[in-house]
């Protein structure tokens, strides 16, 4: 079982989904098991002159299930290198400079 966090794709570049936790579960046909994940501050953080949490709404994905979590945090500026680069829109193929 894998747990992913998806951050909004506008503004500050983040991967579409980030793997944050996983657990190996062995089930026989017809069996079920409760799996628990713990999300911590670092689950939502990124490095920008220290670990910081952008205050946005994240999507948590486990298997085919999704839920939204609104995190309070900081408004982080888009780095200067991102403006005008492939990372500003992430469409098509990046050129070698990106």
* Pairing verdict, β 65-70 and 57-62: antiparallel
What does the pLDDT look like over 43-52, one tens digit per residue?
Answer: 998 888 889 8
Average pLDDT of the residues of the chain:
86
According to the model, what pLDDT value does residue 46 have?
A: 86
68 versus 15: which is more confidently predicted?
A: 68
CA distances from 54 to 7, 63, 69, 71, 82 (A): 9, 25, 12, 8, 17
């Amino acid at each position: 079982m894998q747990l992913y966090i998806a951050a909004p794709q506008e503004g500050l570049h983040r991967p579409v989904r980030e793997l944050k936790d996983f657990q190996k579960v062995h089930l026989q046909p017809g069996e079920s098991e409760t799996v628990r994940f713990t999300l911590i501050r670092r689950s939502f953080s990124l490095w920008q002159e220290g670990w910081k949490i952008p205050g946005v709404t994240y999507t948590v994905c486990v298997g085919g299930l999704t839920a939204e979590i609104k995190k309070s945090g900081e408004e982080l500026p888009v780095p200067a290198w991102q403006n005008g680069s492939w990372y500003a829109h992430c469409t098509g193929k990046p050129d070698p400079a990106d």
